[in-house]
Structure 1
Amino acid sequence: MEGGGGGTLSELYQSSKRLLLRTRDSLERLERLEFSSSSNGAAVDSPELSFAIKRDISQIQSLCTEMDRLWRSVSAKSQRDLWKRKVEQVAEEADSLKESLDKYFLRNQRRTQEARERAELLERANGESSHVLRIFDDEAQAMQSARSSARMLEESYATGVAILSQYAGQRERLKGAQRKALDVLNTIGLSNSVLRVIERRLRVDTWIKYVGMALTIIIMIALWRWKQQ
């Protein structure tokens, strides 16, 4: 007996052989595509082809299940043994194709994971490079600020020196004027009280001058410290 609900045993066997041939050819094309894509560094996944192979393998296995049921119904022992070997051979080839397809899926999964890890590593490297560049920029800005502060301090120092020089010149001129005034007053015979008033006024002017010099120095020091913060 070679009949069954899905066709005769011979028909099922011929269908399974055609599917095996087609599946083997598709798997070879998938592996060639994988090798070519790997050599070019491109993506290696072909979901349409791999899905078709998986579908054909599942169909072959279903045929083997049906044929396994039918060959047991063959009356002649010799024919029964022959069909048993044929069905087992088809099942073994289907298992081998399924194993090859599973290995392809594992390789593809591993390559996908490696590509993801490389992308993450590259992203982290780019992030670290950006961080280093920001550090360099901050240091460059700090150095520029320090140079600007030093230049302002030098300018302030030069201005202070010029002001002190002017005060020194004014002091000498005041001393000369004081001497001349005293000589004139002595000449015209003014009283000692008038002379004391004039001397107090000159002392007050001298203190005002020194206080102005001290305030200038204090302002310069405060400006320099503020720039260093």
Structure 2
Amino acid sequence: MAMAVEGGGTLSEIHQSAKKLLMKARDGVEKLERLESSTSTGGYDSPELSFAVKKDISQIQSLCVEMDRLWRSISFKSQRDLWRRKVEQIAEEAEQLKESLDKYLLRNQRRMNEARERADLLGRANGESSHVLRIFDEEAQAMQSVRNSSRMIQESFATGTAILAKYAEQRERLKKAQRKALDVLNTVGLSNSVLRLIERRNRVDRWIKYVGMISTVVIIFLFWRWTR
């Protein structure tokens, strides 16, 4: 029995239209899920498709309301029960598609929020990276300054060591010269007073030498403390 529908169409025609929309909406949901699964490998989202699927499901539910009104007006119970089951099946499938679409939209919204959060974190990370790089640059400059100071201290120490070595070499030469002079003086028989005068002069020379060595060490130490 074909029930006429106000505004055109029968219950059978409305049912066929609902089934076509149901198939179209199912294909749309499956395509959205395929796009979602490929997002991690370069896939994309389709807001236009999700809107079209949502519109189709809404239209199916409207047709189910109309069919529910029509099958209730069928006089024969067997036909009425048959159409009730058909309409309920369409309504259940439309509800399942609506739930799938709602879950997809929820997951998509979550992905968009996570993408925004990652973008914000990346922006902050770039700013912090610049700050860290600036700190590393300052540390590198400080380390270079320390290395330069250390090199200057080493050079100064080497210079001081060379000076002390020269003093030691001159000391040995003076000792040899003094011994030769004493031998000569003893040979020619100079008086003891002259010898004491020479020895006193020798002690004064040694003190001068020691003072010079100590002064050099002090100067090197003060220079090292100043460059730290």
Q: Contact 1:9 / 1:71 at 8 angstroms: preserved in 2?
A: no
Alpha-carbon distance between aligned partners in 1 of 2:101 and 2:9, rounded to the nearest angstrom: 29
* Displacement of 1:209: 5.2
1:1-229 equivalences in 2 (<5 Å): 2-4=4-6, 7-10=8-11, 11-35=13-37, 37=38, 41-72=41-72, 74=73, 76-78=75-77, 79-105=79-105, 108=108, 142=143, 145=146, 149=150, 151-168=151-168, 210-227=210-227, 229=228
Q: Contact 1:44 / 1:108 at 8 angstroms: preserved in 2?
A: no
Q: Contact 2:35 / 2:43 at 8 angstroms: preserved in 1?
A: no
* Number of residue pairs aligned between Structure 1 and Structure 2: 206
Q: Contact 1:12 / 1:67 at 8 angstroms: preserved in 2?
A: yes
Root-mean-square deviation (CA), in Å? 5.1
Greater shift in the superposed pair: 17-26 or 159-168: 159-168
TM-score, normalized by length of structure 2?
A: 0.59
* Displacement of 1:57: 0.6
Alpha-carbon distance between aligned partners in 1 of 2:88 and 2:161, rounded to the nearest angstrom: 108
Q: Contact 2:28 / 2:53 at 8 angstroms: preserved in 1?
A: yes
Name the SS for the 1:76 alignment partner: coil
* Displacement of 1:218: 0.9
Note the residue ranges of structure 1 that are not aligned, 5 or more in a row. 184-191
* Displacement of 1:56: 0.7
* Displacement of 1:174: 7.8
Question: Quick one: which amino acid aligns to residue 58 of structure 2?
Answer: S
Name the SS for the 2:42 alignment partner: coil
Change (3 A) 1:113 1:41: farther
Per-residue CA deviation, residues 107-164 of structure 1 (Å, 9 max, x unaligned), is 556666787898869x97xx89x979x87x968x849945972x54443233213323
Larger relative contact order (C-alpha < 8 A, sep ≥ 6)?
1
Alpha-carbon distance between aligned partners in 1 of 2:92 and 2:211, rounded to the nearest angstrom: 109
Per-residue CA deviation, residues 68-90 of structure 1 (Å, 9 max, x unaligned), is 23333x25143443432332121
Change (3 A) 1:33 1:172: closer
Alpha-carbon distance between aligned partners in 2 of 1:106 and 1:45, rounded to the nearest angstrom: 13
Question: Quick one: which amino acid aligns to residue 83 of structure 1?
Answer: W
TM-score, normalized by length of structure 1?
A: 0.59
Note the residue ranges of structure 2 that are not aligned, 5 or more in a row. 186-192
Greater shift in the superposed pair: 12-21 or 56-65: 12-21
Alpha-carbon distance between aligned partners in 1 of 2:75 and 2:32, rounded to the nearest angstrom: 42
Alpha-carbon distance between aligned partners in 2 of 1:75 and 1:171, rounded to the nearest angstrom: 135
* Displacement of 1:51: 2.0
Matched residue, 2:190: none
